[in-house]
A and B are shown apart, each in its own frame.
Chain A
Amino acid sequence: MRKILFESLVSDPLTERPPSPDDAAIAELAAAVDRAARRRLGRSLAIREVDAGSCNGCELEIHALNNAFYDLERFGIRFVASPRHADVLLVTGPVTKNMREALERTFRSTPDPKWVVAIGDCAVDGGIFVDSYAVVGGVSAVVPVDLHIRGCPPTPMAMLKGLLALLDTTSDGEPARSSGAG
């Protein structure tokens, strides 16, 4: 273990440079976030992930956000265990009828101000599953959505861009890039 720790000390970090926030995402978010909310949150976002029916592909890539390459926590964004601790719900999947109530209750358990980010093509409109008897549709059919990040699944970089846009829009003042991230 000592050897591995030592090597980590002397080798360069693997972490990617932060991408610039997605312009389209900023536009989608601009209307959703007011100044009061920005002041309250500062540059810190707590995310509760909710799988509302996904195939698990999106979850794999959300996990990747925490690995050494993307290292989401350096931006002040972290995943929390309860919706009661969350500012953001990151929702994946077409919403299945069997998950609808759980998603609604999770949303209601999240304190205001809060944002919902829908991850993946299925979360936009139900995707390939939309015509099923077992599927409600996209996330916005059940709870209001502030930002969509497309992809099947979206790459970690695409998610990072979207979340940084959210952070930029929610933080008061300097954009994320110039305030010492990384």
Chain B
Amino acid sequence: MIETVSKGQRVEGHRPWPRIVVDAATWNAAATALAEGQVSLAGLWGESETVHMAVTDGAGRAAAVISLECPDGRFPSVGRVHPPAIRLERAIADLFGLLPEGLPDVRPWLDHGRWGVRHPLGRRAESARAPAAYRFLAAEGESLHQIPVGPVHAGIIEPGHFRFTANGETVVRLEERLGYVHKGIEGLAAGADIAHAAKLAGRTSGDSTVAYAMAYAHAVEAALAVAAPPRAVWLRALMAELERLANHFGDVGAVCNDAAFTLAHAHFGVLRESVLRVADACFGHRLMRDRIVPGGLAVDLDDEGAASIRTLIGELDRRFPPLVELYDNTASLKDRTFGTGVLNQTLARQFGAGGFVGRASGRDFDARRWPGYAPYDVLEFKVPVLSTGDVNARVWVRIEEIRQSLSLIGQILDRLPAGMVRVELPPRDGEGLGLVEGFRGDILVWLRIVGGRIKRCHLRDPSWFQWPLLEAVIEGNIVADFPLCNKSFNCSYSGHDL
């Protein structure tokens, strides 16, 4: 499929993958190839008069961005044949006013009718319509009742609305309504200078601030055809693995907590905190925010810092295994996680689910491996893949990933090159794409730089392809298992809503 597309008009200055402007027929052929599973959808986004999609081939060896110009404000819907595109196209319609023809679901998605403006990023913004009640999908049958939850939830979590339809305790249908934390990040990035947009990228999803900053930096460096110095590249990976560790520790503990096993939660919380403290001591910020910048890093790691990370790794190597044993040998806990919230492999593949959600359901994809980026090409690590797709499998993939990250950090410290950590960015125009493996999955950043400013920047969170699957896995489970299923996915609200 990617060969067919390559016959279109290739855009100069788009790196590292080709961007090809195609006609509507080729666009539709790409949609069909997605529907048939020949390629995976990596992103679908708009501009004022153009729509773009990023696709990767099934074998994970080739990728391209396909663009369709739509000066009349319409384009053939991809969601018409490939459901994972539906919410992305609803968002394009809300933000740009481009009409996806044939889209089966035309309800607004991010636009709740409260912005005071319609199509804020479109060719011309229009004045808003009055907020209308959202029409939830129907569930029909005897003795059904609805449970509306959110946007303000009971825990310390982000806002979103869940509409459950249940028969007694059994969930018949869950429908998500998101968009509550839409901050207009892509609107703010348009016209911003490169450094300011980096700050916005790092505030798209707070738990993945390192991964977002890295994906954005990769995209900028691709667009400007410049490389970060080797030491910066290695330190970026070090920060990314520390971020992965902190999130995995926190979330594995939180899954245990949602099954009322607070002992594990407390102990995993201690491990998470110990990672954040070392990050703070080494890089000057607990979450390592704004440390990765286009061109390299804003900080360097000194010898004392490197030593403290080594001590941390030694400590974690000692304290983590007993907790794994605790998880594995607590029957009452495993009773909750086994067979709960099963994501089947077909859906995981169809939606191109990234991260542990995909890997717990047989989808062997990790952006560190492919497309791959330095220094992971010379580091040794396994990508754990399981097939059962339940809460336990998602927890277990994360446990394995913790072990891999601990090993990776050791390898990075052993081989950390010396030298500077930042280069100047050349004054050049271009388009770039970054695909980086955050703890939650692959984050895609696409941008265009003109005259030292961001003309357009799109940030695609892995959650776009995971949220819809949460609706599928909860079906037939009991309401009380929803928190467990939800936490085992831990999708980002802010990253999705932007």
Question: Which residues of A pack against B, CB within 8 Å?
Answer: 1, 3-5, 14, 49-64, 66-69, 79, 81-83, 93-94, 96-102, 106, 128-129, 131-135, 152-153, 155
B484 to chain A, nearest CB (A): 17
Q: Across the two chains, which residue of chain A brings its CB closest to B178?
A: A98
Interface size of B as a range: 35 or more
Residue of B116, B157, B158, B183 ringed by the most chain A CB atoms within 10 A: B183
B152 with A54: CB separation less than 8 A? no
Q: Across the two chains, which residue of chain B brings its CB closest to A52?
A: B159
13 A-B contacts, Cβ less than 8 Å apart? A54-B181, A59-B158, A64-B272, A96-B181, A96-B182, A97-B115, A98-B112, A98-B179, A102-B152, A106-B152, A128-B188, A129-B184, A129-B188
B120 with A64: CB separation less than 8 A? no
Please tell me which stretch of B63-71, B203-211, B371-379 contacts chain A, meaning at least 4 of its Cβ atoms lie within 8 angstroms of it: B203-211
B494 with A56: CB separation less than 8 A? yes
A15 to chain B, nearest CB (A): 11
List the A side residues contacting B188 at CB < 8 Å: 128-129, 131-132
B330 with A81: CB separation less than 8 A? no
List the A side residues contacting B156 at CB < 8 Å: 49, 59, 62-63, 79
List the A side residues contacting B125 at CB < 8 Å: 133
Contact A55-B266, Cβ < 8 Å, known A98-B114, A98-B180, A102-B159: no
B289 with A96: CB separation less than 8 A? no
CA A14 to CA B114, docked complex, whole Å: 46
List the B side residues contacting A67 at CB < 8 Å: 266, 269-270, 272-273
Within 8 A of A (CB), among B326-354: 326, 329-330
Complex interface bits, B249-278 against A, C-beta within 8 A gives 1, otherwise 0:
010000000000001001101101100100
Contact A128-B494, Cβ < 8 Å, known A81-B154, A153-B287: no
CA A4 to CA B264, docked complex, whole Å: 10
Is B229 an interface residue, CB under 8 A from the partner? Answer: no
A14 to chain B, nearest CB (A): 6
Please tell me which one of the listed residues A4, A68, A98, A100 contacts residue B322 in the complex, with CB atoms under 8 A apart: A4
B154 with A1: CB separation less than 8 A? no
Q: Across the two chains, which residue of chain A brings its CB closest to B266?
A: A68
CA A1 to CA B326, docked complex, whole Å: 6
B191 to chain A, nearest CB (A): 11
A98 with B207: CB separation less than 8 A? no
Q: Across the two chains, which residue of chain A brings its CB closest to B498?
A: A134
B270 with A69: CB separation less than 8 A? yes
Is B480 an interface residue, CB under 8 A from the partner? Answer: no
Q: Across the two chains, which residue of chain A brings its CB closest to B150?
A: A102
A2 to chain B, nearest CB (A): 10
Within 8 A of A (CB), among B169-217: 179-185, 187-188, 199-200, 203-207, 209
Q: Which 3 A-B pairs have the closest CB atoms?
A: A57-B206, A132-B184, A134-B184
Q: Across the two chains, which residue of chain B brings its CB closest to A48?
A: B152
A60 with B184: CB separation less than 8 A? no
List the A side residues contacting B112 at CB < 8 Å: 97-98
B115 with A99: CB separation less than 8 A? no
List the A side residues contacting B154 at CB < 8 Å: 81-82
B384 to chain A, nearest CB (A): 25
B326 to chain A, nearest CB (A): 6
Is B493 an interface residue, CB under 8 A from the partner? Answer: yes
B180 with A102: CB separation less than 8 A? yes
Please tell me which one of the listed residues A55, A64, A68, A99 contacts residue B180 in the complex, with CB atoms under 8 A apart: A99
Q: Across the two chains, which residue of chain A brings its CB closest to B261?
A: A1
List the B side residues contacting A98 at CB < 8 Å: 112, 114, 179-182
CA A14 to CA B151, docked complex, whole Å: 35
CA A131 to CA B190, docked complex, whole Å: 12
List the A side residues contacting B206 at CB < 8 Å: 54-60, 153
